[in-house]
Copies of this chain bind each other. A is one copy, B any other.
Amino acid sequence: MKKAHGKLIFGTFLKDRGLRFTKERSVILQKTLSCSGHFDPESLYLQIREAGLKASRASVYRTLSILCECGLIERVKKTERGTIYENMFGHEHHDHMLCIQCGNLIEFYSEELERLQEALCKKQGFQGTGHNLEIRGYCRKCRKKKR
């Protein structure tokens, strides 16, 4: 159901621009939507190969860009190991806390935070279209371990 919906969004987006819904794009879309959280292009590519499906690295990169444009996924951040994407379909907007000990990425959302940011933008005459907040530190588990 979710997948069908994602497919519809993607299909419409492609048609609107005279782009084609190829087998490769379909495979990449599917695998992307089946990622429940964050992912990176290389893992996605390997996952596709392991599943016996067909799509080149080049196509993976190309398709991820299109998926970003149509809002189904988002580039969360660039790291030393490459870009981290996130499946946005069915996910609400949220921000992240990154544990610098175990690398765990915790999602959170605060309405108050959103409102405050809007207010700050207004003060600067800035028209915000999106944001990225990453709080670094130690998660509950790692704090305990440190003792």
A114 to chain B, nearest CB (A): 11
Within the assembled complex, what's the spacing in Å between the Cα atoms of A57 and B117? 39
Minimum distance in angstroms from A135 CB to a CB of chain B: 4
Query: A126: which B residues are within 8 A, CB to CB?
Result: 97, 99, 106, 135, 137-140
Q: Are the C-beta atoms of B121 and A97 separated by less than 8 Å?
A: yes
A3 at the interface (CB under 8 A from B): no
State how many angstroms separate the Cβ of A82 from the closest Cβ of chain B. Answer: 10
* CB <8 Å contact, B124 and A131: no
Give the CA-CA distance A77 to B76 in the complex, in Å: 12
State how many angstroms separate the Cβ of A57 from the closest Cβ of chain B: 17
Q: Which of B121, B129, B136, B143 contacts A125 (CB 8 A)?
A: B143
Contact yes or no, B124 A129, CB < 8 A: no
Interface size class of A (residues with CB under 8 A): 20 to 34
Interface contact B131-A135, CB-CB below 8 Å: yes
Q: What's the minimum C-beta distance from A86 to chain B, rounded to whole angstroms?
A: 15
The answer to whether B120 and A113 touch across the interface, beta carbons within 8 angstroms, is yes
Check if A127 is an interface residue, CB within 8 A of chain B: yes
Which A residues lie at the B interface, using CB under 8 A? 77-80, 97, 99-100, 106, 108, 110, 112-113, 116-117, 120-121, 124-140, 143
A-B pairs with lowest CB-CB distance, top 4: A125-B140, A78-B78, A128-B137, A131-B135
